[in-house]
Structure 1
């Protein structure tokens, strides 16, 4: 019962979830919405672009795609509907953007800490490897949102304040995230970094009178953090039993052998089979638990085919998020549909459409070593530039806007 998950929960997750609660109480969540609203809210597809940027900022510390969808979606989904997006599209864009927070450093939900524990690598290295793929995910959703808005000529309203004014008034809300990132990159432990991040959040809250964290607000933030931690920790014992059974019964090696045999040694089919296994598993347990359980059985199969260990974990971690937005069980998408008051299945398939990079990244991890920073600086830079342009083309094709050009040509 007291395995990797329990150790990571007690050592890292609890502190970072409490940090997220303190950062939110300090008023940072409002800044994370107001700044992108002023920056891109008045542009083509503005409200949806606000949703993508706000989900990246808030999702990096919330630790839950569902919590991200509900918290930022309560504001961005009605705004998207008002601008002209169909309800199921507005409800689908928010969860598609929200799951990106699970890949975005410095917190990455709980998966990054579990990954560090399982691989024995410093969390700072996992942060660096995760940063570019996370950026590419948000970039792909952003481009698809842009072309979705272009199809229907949806433009947002201009904010009362400029982005520069809001940044000038609230730049200090970024300090806790900066402090945590710098400390971990300097080699300090995640726990030490999280505690200093909490202290920084309390200090920044005093920059404005209405957000100051006094004794009462301190207790509220601590209680919210503890409750959110328990939502993750409630499954710890069950997960420990499952992993114990898998490990001591020999099913880990058996599963790896079955996957390799079914895929006939082909990496492409192996990743597809792992995606299917992760989706089925994710229907019954939280996505973090799905990652941990799937990693125990799937990573050996991937490393056997020549994928380096960290890239193999990244493949499993990305695929473990698919049950949030992939039908038939997609809780984050259903949460978005509830807020948008839209058809649940139409919303789910729309979220699935906008989150397509979720399924492309695992293949990049498997076939392109430089995608996980495994190569020379020159090779990594070249690959990153190629992936940047490739991601834009990929999102443009998936948006389907090119079909309108053919229709116009026919006319």
Structure 2
């Protein structure tokens, strides 16, 4: 299944739609319970912080036509999890500076097929992101290859099963396209050959106009015959030129697809090599395990902040209530995101990490107005700037 991600300026009613703050006639209400939501802060609050930071950093107000907050609709699968989307968000920040602060998974939109009467779900997620460049205070500037990178990241984080299944599927799709293009190319070549053969045959004798002269003898009418041939050749030449241009386009498309196919074959080969190394090299296995646990810690931190935001008045004054709430958060993440609960158990064996997580749940997180350096064993954390995870 293909995925895509496309960012546009956020809409005024984005939060109303994304968080289902009112009923819409195009959704199935009985499926709304399957939706999932996460937010770090409201759009209006983030925009105020962006404007303030821009003034502090650049000495100027944010331009009136700037789009500092943008929203993407991402095509997902039935089993796409919030963790997958947090992983994608982290990749977008690391590689493109895009900081996602709201996520909504929608599984209640779609349509009924008119012929089969079957429900066709429109599975997607909304990612609302801060588009500010923290170095300049202005909005991020991306080029075409950056948008291509976004698609790569989305496919990597959402479109693949564990292992190489995603790459294999994409490779098969590309090779199928190549096959179809080659078939179209062959058909075009045959068409051009046929037209060329017609031009050299006697098929155009019917264009010759003969008329009786004064003595009743049939003679060729040069004016009418020349006009017929001229019209016929103009039509055939135009068709030949059109087909030749199509031929060039098809050749270029096939070349591009073949290049993409080779890249995917290389990617699959690299993944197979990586899997082999994982099975034989304990150091590499330990590194990959650390990366995975770091991603679980990341989604756990975000979930803790979200729970505090949703339930600010919940009594967290004693250790038992904190442990109970943390246990519920971890079990929900485990169930919803297919994370082995043993991963959480292992994380909480690290005393410093456990203390940091319970502190986050009990104290409500970090005050972004007072940047602080957070040190967590086995997980590098940069200095926190507003909204940065």
TM-score category of the 2 structures, normalised to the smaller one: under 0.3
In terms of fraction of residues, the more strand-rich structure is 2
By relative contact order (CA 8 Å, sep 6+), the higher-ranking structure is 1
In terms of fraction of residues, the more helix-rich structure is 1
Tell me which structure has the larger Cα radius of gyration: 2
TM-score, length of structure 1 as denominator length: 0.23
